Structure 1
Amino acid sequence: MPLLDLDLYRKEIIVADAPRVRVSVIDAGRADAPQAMLFLHGFGGEAMQWRKQLTAFADEARVVAPDLRGHGLSDHPATNYSTAEHLADIERVVAALNLPPKFILLGHSFGGALAAAYAVKHSERVERLVLVGTSVSFQLNPLLKLALKLPVAIGEPIRRMFPRALAAPAYVLKAMHAHALATFEGAKIFPQLKTPLLLIFGHRDIVFSQAAYDAVARLVAGARVEKIPVAAHLVHLERPEAVNRAIARFVKGAGVSWREGRAPEQIDLLRQRPWLKHYEANVPYTLAYPAQPLDRFLDSAARRYPRKHAIIFFDHALSYRALNDAANRFANALIGLGVKKGDRVALLLPNSPQMVIAYYGALKAGAIAVSLNPLFSAAELELLLQDSGAETIVTLSLFYNLVQAVKPKTALTRVIVTNIKEYFSPLRRALFTIVREAREGHRIDLGDDANAFAFQDLLARASNESPAIDTLPEDIALIQYSSGTTELPKGVMLTHANLVANTVQVRHWTTDIREGRESIVGVLPFSHSYGMT
């Protein structure tokens, strides 16, 4: 099974405004696929519990899996977590993603109950229904009931001991049990189903009673049942290949597997591209690319790994949460200065936290980043500033006088200045201030220049909320200049779609990467195309 980093395909959908609730959704697979599959996880679960199925079917279909409100990377509002709330969220996800008129709906455990309720309400939308480990009612065993009665202060530490099965905080589980699981009436819902139904159970599933599982098949005329041996409640994780085969047979018919149906196309692709046979086993032949702006990857990383180091600069580290926070602040600061969508923001910076913050901040503001080499001469800098039409530049204090010298001959109206020491550790910063800052030209006075701004002052005054900018994949994200080896440098206009494709390709080519644990040395200049890649 080829590698597919599903978290690269995450997007956020606002499903409610009061309070504002964002649902994190994996939307992968072929955008042009004739088939779409919507996967719903169960009580305490998360979208990634479907990862084996999402990866298996992404080659053939558009695969979508939301983290239900309160679960995984979705928001955890103080609401009832009722069945009605979850159904409304699912309806908004279907509408926001513009799923086709008919799609296949799959649900695990209580996600299956939600899927059944949705299929009854919207029978015209659901082509086929697959329920995995779904019961007619959700009466928990005495031990689990007791756990849900514990105070949140006691229940939450216990919940964290079982992250694979319980991906929602204790207060969410208590509310959802009271207002959704305990009140679900499968005996009324299931007989109303008119959609072709496949039921999959693990042979050793004892989370609910066997009678409660068997009742679902009795209540739905014509339901197909698959019992998977040597598997329990999380059967789709424990025996993914068996579950995938059962789903494929149900979707395509008993005689044809999806892989068999795809074989002629794969053979034709290998004839056209003979180098594909030399790929590592886990490298996919083709990829679908998320239709989103590049900066969404930073948002996703900040939610997945908030405390992990994003940047280590000398002896100081910046977490993903802190990096995203700073990028949001810089984006809002740019907007406050009058930068509009499509405006050029030049970056005359070395590899540094400021470069990364300014780059993503410009993208979040809807601006176009213009990458400039800090080693440029005055003539080279003037030429490329004129060519790009940048009105804003972010630069080191060391280069401030150079920028001021060329500014009158360019469109520059705003100069944002940062000192290299700003992201040093306290000790290194103090030593730099005493020994090197003035001597090497880093110490400057912006004086009364109304169009010069200190980087840290802008961050301190700006909001850390992500700005609401409608950036499209086809919008230009970056102007990257060629090196000018044989003639004048040329500005290559790269869209968000270009950079997203580059990111996804590099990720899937490096099959042995350990997510959240890798360290990558940023030696190549970020101002160069290779370094930016």
Structure 2
Amino acid sequence: MSRSTTPALAGVPGIQLIDFDLVTGPAGPSRLFLHGFGGDKHQLRGLGGALPPASQSMYVSLRAHGDSPRPAWGYSVLDFAADVHRVADLLRPPVDVIAYSYGALVGAACAATWGDGLIRSLVVIDQSFTADPAQHEADEWAEGSYLRWMYRYGRMVERLGIPVHVLAAQHSDMIGPDERGRMSAAGIRVTTIPGDHSGCLDDPARLAAVITGRPC
């Protein structure tokens, strides 16, 4: 069921917290679900429901998504991660992070900056951590696009010191062969899953089975 809770920073003057749902269950781990660019806190609810029970599942809407604040600037991966950190005190550690697309960059930044023992594992659903300047677009999201595509985040995810499982969509060009090789060489588990970048979320039960290592 869902319950109303209040982060420690709620009500502090000048701070706007991102929108989130915290769903409590009978047992199991704490889980943090991070959606992709253009999604919101509902994008991974089907996957969360298909996974084994959790004691807590937090679904957030990242800044400028859903009902979360939309500041004029501040769209680096670290800005997004700090937003999540401001509400993460509601989660009992250790936390398993399951993140799709751009949300996986945010999840890796959370794991790298939140301190030992808080995040136990990271599941990445079809997200690259390499730089690709040709992808940068100088549109209304120019700052976020620049800070995403001009920098390589591979070393961050390769040095987390926690289990990382990358699910690469079969018909997506998001994660190329070279990056898969680097990840595997760094001890990161890489699994190919059916679908393209958006369609890989279409079968939550199948995706949950890959994450847990259990048959559907």
Q: TM-score, normalised by structure 2?
A: 0.83
Matching of residue 119 in structure 1 with residue 85 in structure 2: no
CA contact (8 A) 2:17 2:87 kept: no
Call closer, same or farther: CA 1:141–1:17 in 2, change over 3 Å: farther
Call closer, same or farther: CA 1:100–1:20 in 2, change over 3 Å: closer
Which of 24, 47, 57 is the aligned partner of 2:51? 57
The answer for the alignment partner of 1:27 in structure 2 is 22
| Equivalent residue letter for 1:42 | G
CA contact (8 A) 1:136 1:186 kept: yes
Q: How many residues align?
A: 214
User: Which residues of structure 2 form unaligned runs of 5+?
Assistant: none
Matching of residue 237 in structure 1 with residue 201 in structure 2: yes
CA drift of 1:131 comes to 0.7
Which of 36, 39, 58 is the aligned partner of 1:42? 36
Call closer, same or farther: CA 1:194–1:205 in 2, change over 3 Å: same
1:177 and 1:16 map into 2 onto residues whose CA distance is: 31
CA drift of 1:16 comes to 9.6
CA contact (8 A) 1:201 1:227 kept: yes
Matching of residue 134 in structure 1 with residue 123 in structure 2: no
Matching of residue 178 in structure 1 with residue 146 in structure 2: yes
Matching of residue 149 in structure 1 with residue 138 in structure 2: yes
The answer for the alignment partner of 2:94 in structure 1 is 102
The answer for the alignment partner of 2:162 in structure 1 is 195
1:131 and 1:34 map into 2 onto residues whose CA distance is: 20
CA drift of 1:17 comes to 6.1
CA drift of 1:240 comes to 2.0
Call closer, same or farther: CA 1:42–1:88 in 2, change over 3 Å: same
Matching of residue 91 in structure 1 with residue 85 in structure 2: yes
User: Which residues of structure 1 form unaligned runs of 5+?
Assistant: 151-170, 260-533
| Equivalent residue letter for 1:90 | V
1:92 and 1:58 map into 2 onto residues whose CA distance is: 27
2:199 and 2:111 map into 1 onto residues whose CA distance is: 23
| Equivalent residue letter for 2:66 | G
Higher RCO structure (Cα 8 Å, ≥6 apart): 2
Matching of residue 226 in structure 1 with residue 191 in structure 2: yes
Identity %: 21
Q: TM-score, normalised by structure 1?
A: 0.36
**Structure having the larger proportion of residues in helix:** 1
CA drift of 1:209 comes to 5.1
2:127 and 2:179 map into 1 onto residues whose CA distance is: 7
Call closer, same or farther: CA 1:235–1:120 in 2, change over 3 Å: farther
CA drift of 1:213 comes to 4.5
Q: Which runs of 4+ in 1 moved over 4 A?
A: 8-19
CA drift of 1:24 comes to 0.8
Call closer, same or farther: CA 1:87–1:104 in 2, change over 3 Å: same
CA drift of 1:82 comes to 1.7
Which of 58, 74, 80 is the aligned partner of 2:68? 74
